[in-house]
Copies of this chain bind each other. A is one copy, B any other.
Amino acid sequence: MSDVGGIAADRLKSFVERIERLEEEKRGLQEDIKEVYSEAKGTGFDTKIIRQIIRLRKMDKADRQEQEAILELYKEALGMVE
């Protein structure tokens, strides 16, 4: 039986291993994503822009506009606009 210093060692080990396995799979998907970007790049696309596109599609439109408004304000404050 597996009680070590009041800790259920077997259960703990099981949790740790499950997590490690899932993380491994996750890493695999990350690789896949990287490959798609590579492929896109190889086809002549700019991956940085693709990333932006994906981010924008994720982002709520209202949020986006607010962000831009604040930025404008700050730019004005610094005389960065004519």
A contacts, CB < 8 Å to B: 4-9, 11-13, 15-16, 18-20, 22-23, 25-26, 29-30, 32-33, 36-37, 39-40, 43, 45-46, 48-50, 52-57, 59-60, 62-63, 66-67, 69-71, 73-80
Contact = CB atoms under 8 A, between A and B. Distances in A.
A37 to B, nearest CB: 7
Copies assembled: 4
Main secondary structure of the interface of A (DSSP, over half): helix
B30 A26 contact: yes
A9 to B, nearest CB: 4
B78 A49 contact: no
Contacts of A22: 29, 32-33, 36
Contacts of A13: 78
